[in-house]
């Protein structure tokens, strides 16, 4: 047994040979165990972090429908979709948001009628036209579910464009309704540049490629051309309003209806722009017959809301107001 190694006592010399190898092996094994535990803990942490990250991405980038299921016990209810503020891409009242809300409401078997709750001065004719077309398409697929537009403070221009697709339009007696016209606004800085001694240098391919450049003088032929574009867009607006309102619109007696003027609700009723005076609650209760409301309005994703608060759209808005603003139903 003299050949066997035994652990040195406190007074023994530092271990040598096999003893030193044993100590080194022991330390290596302990270090390996500690490293495995550490790696396991970090693995769990990173898995949890990845899950939170992916869940956050889904939450931030996914628009949500405000489906207030407090009405879940009812057999039927009235769907409400808000159209507020500017009707434009990337805004709360974008065509994608409104159309998504409309499709969800029409697909819900418990929805007896849909109210478009409007408070908007207008916006893009493209966005408004997309919503108008989709309302008509969905009504064809769901003939039993009617759409009602209810205007609160204002339902003008592009907002009225959308409202005209509804089966009926209601407003308050003091609501502002109408403004059936098209505008395109910008600024001209030619005189200012001359006073500052600044020379504009623009290189283009195409005779009229820069005809909307605010730093170059307007040319009569280009102005006439652009006016033709606006007139054509205006005629499109007039056509859809006539189709939507039909014989209810008294445009033959009142050609000023298409002049861009705006009226209060009481006047709008006399002109055939609306069908009656009321609000969301009264229309749901007295017209649709279901007073319980469920909000189907699509909300911006959390990412979009944060981006707007941080001002990421400032450059777009600055370009729009300082340079050229395309055709707008406002």
pLDDT tens over the chain, length 330 residues: 444 445 455 445 555 556 666 777 667 767 676 777 776 666 666 666 665 555 555 444 444 445 444 445 568 999 999 999 999 999 999 999 999 999 999 999 999 999 999 999 999 999 999 999 999 999 999 999 999 999 999 999 999 999 999 999 999 999 999 999 988 887 888 888 778 888 888 888 888 888 888 888 888 888 898 899 999 999 999 999 999 999 999 999 999 999 999 999 999 999 999 999 999 999 999 999 999 999 999 976 555 555 554 444 544 554 444 444 566 666
- Dump pLDDT digits (tens) for 267-297: 999 999 999 999 999 999 999 999 999 999 9
pLDDT value at residue 51: 59
- Give the Cβ contact number of residue 52 at 10 Å: 10
Alpha carbon distance 317, 323 (integer Å): 10
Q: What is the CATH number of domain 65-183+221-321?
A: 3.90.226.10
DSSP character string of 266-313: HHHHHHTS-SEE--HHHIIIIIIS---EEE-PEEPPHHHHHHHHHTTT
With 0.85 as the threshold, say if the pTM is over it.
Answer: no
Question: CA 11, CA 151: separation in Å to the nearest integer?
Answer: 96
pLDDT of residue 210: 82
Place of tokens 């979709």: 81
* Confidence at residue 153, expressed as pLDDT on a 0 to 100 scale: 97
Q: How far is the C-alpha of 46 from the C-alpha of 95, rounded, in Å?
A: 39
What does the pLDDT read at residue 194?
A: 78
Residue length of the chain: 330
126-154: pLDDT as tens digits: 999 999 999 999 999 999 999 999 999 99
């Amino acid at each position: 047994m003299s050949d066997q190694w035994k652990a040195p006592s406190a007074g023994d010399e530092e271990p040598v040979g096999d003893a030193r190898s044993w100590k080194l092996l022991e330390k290596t094994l302990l270090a390996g165990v500690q490293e495995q535990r550490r790696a396991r803990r970090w693995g769990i942490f990173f898995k949890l972090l990845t899950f939170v990250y992916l869940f956050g991405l889904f939450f931030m980038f996914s628009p949500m429908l405000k489906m207030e299921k407090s009405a879940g016990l009812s057999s039927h209810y009235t769907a409400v979709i808000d159209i507020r503020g500017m009707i434009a891409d990337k805004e709360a009242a974008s065509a994608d948001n409104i159309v998504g809300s409309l499709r969800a409401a029409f697909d819900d078997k418990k929805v007896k009628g849909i109210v478009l709750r409007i408070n908007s001065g207008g916006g893009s004719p493209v966005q408004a036209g997309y919503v108008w077309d989709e309302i008509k398409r969905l009504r064809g697929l769901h003939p039993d579910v009617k759409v009602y537009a209810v205007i609160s403070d204002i339902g003008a221009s592009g907002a009225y464009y959308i409202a005209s697709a509804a089966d009926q339009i209601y407003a308050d007696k003091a609501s502002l309704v109408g403004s059936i016209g098209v505008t395109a606004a910008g600024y001209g800085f030619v005189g200012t540049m001359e006073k500052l001694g600044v020379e504009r240098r623009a290189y283009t391919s195409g005779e009229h490629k820069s005809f909307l450049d605010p730093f170059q003088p307007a040319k009569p032929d280009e102005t006439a051309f652009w006016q033709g574009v606006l007139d054509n867009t205006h005629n499109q607006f007039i056509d859809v309003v006539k189709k939507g309102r039909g014989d209810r619109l008294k445009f033959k007696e009142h050609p000023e209806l298409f002049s861009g003027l705006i009226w209060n609700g009481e006047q709008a009723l006399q002109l055939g722009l609306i069908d009656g005076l009321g609000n969301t609650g009264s229309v749901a209760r007295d017209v649709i017959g279901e007073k319980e409301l469920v909000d189907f309005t699509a909300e911006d994703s959390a990412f979009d809301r944060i981006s707007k608060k941080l001002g990421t759209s400032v450059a777009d808005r600055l370009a729009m107001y300082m340079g050229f603003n395309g055709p707008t139903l406002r």
